[in-house]
């Protein structure tokens, strides 16, 4: 193993960082090392500027006329195309709307309608839970449908895929471990058995490049408030490959997905293409903050982003394992950088208290029950020096036993 860099070398890494200027676009609270962009990304000047304009000019002054004059009506598709570029989707296949949970529901129904002679959904026991819950919701509305879970019904998802499977719903990056699945290989495997695939990109979009079109993916969903920095609860996105567009049906058939939404017809008629995943009226203010955040992304080279991301996570793992050795931390994320998203997780029996102590010292990561310390590394605003500083503080907390402070022992409802 090569020797760890000293702090002078760390500063040189930041100085040489091609994404360095991006940090200025964001609003970083002073005194904070924010390693939780995989839960809620930070605000940006561009997001605030768009939000301000949407609120004061468009709502405040132009009111109802803004549906046309400010492009509110076309915004879900316009923003969808901009997210599309970041996930390898050619234009016209991605739309921004609703929540990830609801988009999972739409995608599952659409996929099952494309495989009417099949009844099985395959997903992951270790999925972010809402994916499973939504699959259970879909199963509840489709007589004969059932759900098979990796880690429950078989050890690996590949073992669950057979000729009865309509659709595989799977996370590209695991929310807890940060482990990356092979999108092209699993999609191919599903297609070989006649099944479709929905990729959940919540921890992918803005964290690393993917190529949905190139991997022949069927559907994808994801959120915009993590690595994309769209703002708390910003609307989610949904992708459908163009080859399916003519055959997509899904039961959340609201006015915005209608072929002629202003004709006030008495029956639903699905709009063209990806538009038919739209349903009801979207939260324009939240959408507009996201628009500002995406303005920044238009300038980002995704290969450079990935390189920086791996540089940050490689460094964090190496520093923690050297400086915090002997304190009981176990790496939960893949050591192989090719299999790692943009986060690093370590387990520790006292993970909760340690994370509380870190937060009290200005290092924001998060805790996932029962024993995971989770750290997200957003390449646009996290510096190598932040990684160094976070490890210095973590080592101090472990060495001094500061996490044993009684005030860190009370588990809050929300972590």
The annotated binding site for pyridoxal 5'-phosphate is made up of 100-101, 128-131, 200, 203, 225, 255, 281
When asked if residue 100 is in the footprint of a copy of itself (CB under 8 A), the reply is yes
For a copy of itself, the closer of residues 144 and 326 by Cβ is 144
Q: Write the CB contacts of 59 (distance below 8 Å, at least 6 apart in sequence).
A: 66, 284, 285
Site for a copy of itself in 153-212 (CB under 8 A): none
- Shortest reach from residue 119's CB to a copy of itself, in Å: 14
Neighbours of 16 (CB within 10 A): 9
Q: Is 289 in the site for a copy of itself (CB under 8 A)?
A: yes
Site membership for a copy of itself, residue 292 (CB under 8 A)? no
What is the Cα–Cα distance from 295 to 307, expressed in whole angstroms?
21
Touching a copy of itself, residues 41-70 (CB under 8 A) = 42-43, 48, 51, 54-56, 58-68
Of 127, 92, 110, 284, the C-alpha closest to 200 is 127
Q: Copy the structure tokens of residue 3.
A: 């020797």
Q: At what angle do helices 351-360 and 384-400 cross, to 10 degrees?
A: 120
CB 377 within 8 A of CB 35: yes
Which of 90, 259, 303, 369 forms a contact with a copy of itself (CB under 8 A)?
Answer: 369
Please identify which of the residues 34, 105, 225, 408 carries the catalytic annotation. Answer: 225
Residue 132 as a binder of a copy of itself (CB under 8 A): the answer is yes
Is 374 one of the annotated active-site residues of the chain? yes
Piece in contact with a copy of itself (CB under 8 A), picked from 33-41, 161-169, 350-358, 378-386 = 33-41
Structural tokens at position 88: 């390898």
Please report whether residue 368 would count as binding a copy of itself according to CB under 8 A. Answer: yes
First vs last Cα of the chain: how many Å apart? 36
Quickly tell me which residue has 């002078």 as its tokens: 8
Single out the residue of 399, 404, 317, 392 nearest to residue 357, CA to CA.
404
Q: Whose structure tokens read 């006292």?
A: 350
- Of 226, 275, 288, 340, the catalytic one is 226
| Residues in a beta bridge with 179 | 340
Residue 90 is a binding residue for a copy of itself (CB under 8 A): no
**Shortest distance, CB of residue 299 to a copy of itself, whole angstroms?**
21
Token pair in block for residue 134:
């939504």
Question: Does residue number 347 form part of the binding site for a copy of itself (CB under 8 A)?
Answer: no
Mask of contacts with a copy of itself, 232-271, x by CB under 8 A? xxxxx------------xxxxxxxx-x---xxxxxxx---
Q: Is 143 in the site for a copy of itself (CB under 8 A)?
A: yes
Closest separation between CB of residue 287 and a copy of itself, Å? 7
Q: Is-catalytic flag, 200?
A: yes
Active site residue 399: no
Q: Are 215 and 183 in contact (CB under 8 A)?
A: yes
Question: From the CB of 318, what's the least distance to a copy of itself, in Å?
Answer: 26
Size of the site for a copy of itself (CB under 8 A): 92
CA distances to 45, 315, 391 from 9, in Å: 30, 12, 16
- Could you give the residue numbers annotated as active site? 128, 200, 225-226, 374
């Amino acid at each position: 193993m090569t020797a760890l860099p000293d702090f002078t070398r760390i500063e040189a890494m930041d100085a040489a960082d091609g994404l360095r200027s991006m940090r200025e676009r964001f609003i970083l609270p002073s005194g904070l090392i924010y390693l939780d962009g995989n839960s809620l990304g930070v605000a940006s000047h561009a997001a605030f500027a768009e939000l301000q304009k949407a609120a004061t000019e468009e709502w405040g002054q132009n009111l109802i006329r803004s549906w046309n004059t400010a492009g509110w009506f076309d915004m879900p598709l316009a923003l969808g195309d901009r997210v599309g570029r970041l996930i390898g989707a050619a234009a016209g296949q991605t739309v921004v709307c609703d929540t990830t949970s609801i988009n999972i529901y739409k995608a599952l129904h659409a996929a099952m309608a494309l495989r009417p002679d099949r009844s099985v959904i395959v997903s992951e026991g270790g999925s972010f839970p809402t994916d499973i819950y939504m699959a259970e919701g879909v199963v509840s509305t489709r007589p004969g449908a059932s759900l098979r879970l990796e880690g429950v019904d078989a050890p690996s998802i590949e073992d669950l895929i057979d000729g009865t499977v309509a659709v595989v719903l799977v996370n590209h990056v695991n929310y807890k471990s940060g482990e990356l699945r092979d999108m092209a290989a699993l999609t191919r495997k599903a297609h070989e058995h006649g099944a479709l695939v929905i990729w959940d990109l919540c921890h992918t979009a803005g964290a690393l490049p993917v190529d949905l079109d190139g991997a022949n993916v069927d559907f994808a969903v994801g959120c915009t408030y993590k690595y994309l920095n769209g703002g708390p609860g910003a609307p989610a996105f949904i992708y459908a490959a163009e080859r399916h567009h003519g055959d997509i049906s899904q039961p959340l058939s609201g006015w915005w997905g209608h072929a002629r939404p202003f004709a006030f017809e008495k029956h639903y008629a699905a709009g063209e293409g990806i538009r038919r995943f739209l349903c009801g009226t979207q939260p324009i203010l939240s959408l507009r903050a996201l628009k500002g955040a995406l303005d920044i992304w238009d300038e980002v080279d995704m290969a450079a982003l990935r390189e920086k991301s791996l540089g940050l996570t490689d460094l964090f793992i190496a520093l923690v394992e050297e400086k915090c050795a002997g304190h009981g931390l176990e790496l939960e994320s893949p050591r192989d950088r090719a299999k790692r998203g943009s986060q690093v997780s370590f387990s520790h029996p006292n993970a909760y208290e340690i994370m509380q102590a870190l937060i009290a010292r200005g290092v924001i990561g998060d805790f996932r029950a029962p024993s995971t310390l989770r750290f997200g590394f957003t390449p646009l605003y996290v510096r190598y020096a932040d990684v160094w500083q976070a490890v210095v503080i973590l080592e101090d907390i472990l060495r001094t036993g500061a996490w044993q402070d009684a005030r860190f022992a009370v588990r809050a409802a929300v972590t």
